[in-house]
Amino acid sequence: MTNESENGPILVFLGPTLRLAEAAPVLDAIYLQPAAQGDILLAAHAFRPRAMILIDGQFEDRPAVRHKEILWALAQGIVVIGAASMGALRAAELNDFGMIGVGVIYRWYRRWRLAPDDAVAVLSGPPELGFLPLTDALVDLQRTFASLARRNLLTDAERDLLTTMARNTNFRERRLEAILHTAGWRKEDIKELRKDIVGQKKLDALLALRSAQTLLRQGNAGHRVSDAWVATNTFVRDLEASGIDSELVNTYKLNP
């Protein structure tokens, strides 16, 4: 799946948002597990990519991917694109520094800076099962309830009630079936509504993959990428706590 060129491959950090079998035909790239703290730095050294697409990230068993390491990647000349899940969050936060955001969820986080991080979070299975999603993301449920209301399959009151219930449910237990059951829906109706769920995270992830080549040609046009990247003591300590050689920060330069 490697898209080799003189400038290196494209890396994609992917997990529960989109199945690998669905992603690989869309973009020829190296697909990696959801990114956690230090993974961008390590992946850059391992593959010397020209671009990274951050879709999924880890945040419970391991510390989440740091803003500082994304800024480091940008300072090396690596194009960094974010969408759908952790990628949308980080892109909304780092857009002014050169990270490129794609999709509805990214734009939502750009507009609502204090929107909850857990709106894109899901509980997922282990790596051996491809990080299979076990729950539904709040953003997907909100889009689903809004779509059903527009089609007159829900009243406005029902949409608002279900949306509130979803927001008040922990992401580890947030499932369409459970929410509808608690709201008093019949099993038969719940089964039918499952077919209508709007997978906005998946749609945004696919859009990012389809847009990657165009975005690469555009590069960081219109974005400010800092050349004065400095490793803070806190960042170095975070790397060392994760067992990562902090010297990697200073020894690798794509654009020396």
Contacting residues for 62 by C-beta, under 8 A, at least 6 apart: 36, 37, 242
The pLDDT of residue 256? 41
The pLDDT of residue 243? 81
The pLDDT of residue 222? 46
The pLDDT of residue 219? 65
pLDDT beneath 50: ranges in the chain:
1-5, 222, 254-256
Contacting residues for 56 by C-beta, under 8 A, at least 6 apart: 13, 14, 15, 16, 17, 34, 35, 84, 85, 86, 87, 131
The burial class, CB within 10 Å (0-12 / 13-18 / 19+), for 26 is middle
Q: What is the pLDDT of residues 31-54, one digit of tens each?
A: 999 999 999 999 999 999 999 999
The pLDDT of residue 65? 92
